[in-house]
């Protein structure tokens, strides 16, 4: 009623005040709609960069990233986002690729023909493609008591299995790019490659290596790898699958120290 009484004053100001105050319920409604809409817009703005993130972080080399990161608003929103990849500073995202000449060194060949180099390279790749899954298999604790372990390394014994696992770990991590392959010097007909266990990665291939098939070449490489001191430094007590199986039963402590026991474990053929 006080508001109405203002109307009687008939002044323009009073009319305006009356007009405004009588509209209060409507205005409150309008205001709440406005606030709701603002909130929704705010959320939408926050959500936008989060949805756009995958393309940003995966296109690191793309120049458009620089433009996006330099945008202050987007930068602020990015900094608030929870995704870890968003916490990268622009300088991290824009790192230059390493120069081309810093590539890993390649293996060295001495006295080997191109064809011999190809054969060696293939044998190394094939060996690695067996060693890595063999290590992965051994790294599953439940596999310590598997038939594969027991066949080549004897009755279950956690100390022995962990020793084997560590040896396989170093075999799987071995760097073959530093190896020095020598051809045409060794004349032995009984061994595949001459080597010194203290000189990691230096093999001198004998006629046996060239005369036998791909499987024998894998045997040679894996058995030498595990004998290098810097890998596992194991011995070479028996060769051949049957002799290695027998050793696992008669002397498992020696089996885990025998190069060819690792060869057969790694090759796992036929699979156990
Ligand atoms: C388990 O293996 C370790 C290391 O090879 C050996 O010293 C120990 O005697 C073995 N234990 C049994 C019960 O065979």
Does residue 119 surpass a pLDDT of 70? Answer: yes
**Tokens representing 11?**
């002044």
- What are the C-alpha distances in Å from 121 to residues 2, 179, 255? 99, 11, 29
* pLDDT digit string, tens, across residues 34-92: 444 443 444 433 333 333 333 222 212 222 232 233 333 333 333 333 333 334 444 44
Split at pLDDT 50, 70, 90, the class of 102 is low
158 lines ligand 1 (CB under 6 A): no
80: how many CB neighbours lie within 10 A of its CB? 11
253 lines ligand 1 (CB under 6 A): yes
Distance 160 CA to ligand 1 centre (A): 7
Which residues are registered as beta bridge partners of 194?
204
8 Å CB contact between 215 and 196: no
Least confident stretch, 81-95, 117-131, 225-239: 81-95
Between 214-227 and 259-267, two packed helices, what is the crossing angle to 10 degrees?
130
160 lines ligand 1 (CB under 6 A): yes
Tokens 């699958």 label which residue?
Answer: 241
The structure's pTM equals 0.65
* pLDDT digit string, tens, across residues 155-201: 999 999 999 999 999 999 999 999 999 999 999 988 999 999 999 99
**Tokens representing 49?**
């960069």
**Residue owning the nearest CA to atom 12 of ligand 1:** 157
8 Å CB contact between 200 and 231: yes
8 Å CB contact between 230 and 167: no
């Amino acid at each position: 009623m006080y508001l109405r009484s203002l109307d009687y004053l008939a002044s323009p100001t009073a009319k305006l005040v009356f007009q405004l105050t009588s509209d209060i319920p409507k205005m409150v409604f309008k205001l709440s709609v406005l606030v709701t809409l603002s909130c929704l817009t705010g959320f939408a703005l926050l959500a936008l960069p989060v949805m756009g993130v995958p393309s940003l972080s995966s296109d690191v080399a793309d120049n458009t990233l620089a433009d996006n990161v330099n945008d202050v608003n987007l930068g602020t929103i990015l900094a608030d986002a929870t995704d870890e990849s968003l916490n990268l500073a622009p300088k991290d995202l824009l790192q230059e690729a390493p120069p081309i000449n810093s590539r890993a060194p390649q293996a060295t060949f001495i006295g080997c023909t191109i064809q011999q180099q190809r054969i060696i390279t293939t044998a190394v790749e094939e060996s690695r493609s067996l060693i890595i899954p063999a290590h992965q298999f051994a790294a599953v604790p439940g596999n310590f008591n598997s038939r594969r372990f027991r066949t080549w390394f004897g009755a279950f014994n956690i100390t022995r299995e962990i020793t084997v696992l560590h040896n396989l770990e170093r075999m799987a991590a071995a760097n073959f790019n530093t190896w020095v392959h020598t051809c045409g010097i060794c004349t032995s007909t009984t061994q595949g490659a001459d080597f010194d266990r203290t000189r990691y990665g230096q093999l001198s291939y004998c006629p046996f290596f060239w005369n036998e098939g791909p499987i024998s070449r894998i045997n040679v490489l894996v058995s030498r790898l595990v004998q290098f001191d810097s890998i596992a430094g194991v011995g070479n007590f028996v060769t051949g699958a049957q002799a290695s199986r027998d050793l696992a039963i008669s002397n498992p402590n020696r089996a885990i120290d025998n190069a060819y026991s690792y060869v057969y474990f790694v090759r796992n053929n036929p699979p156990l």
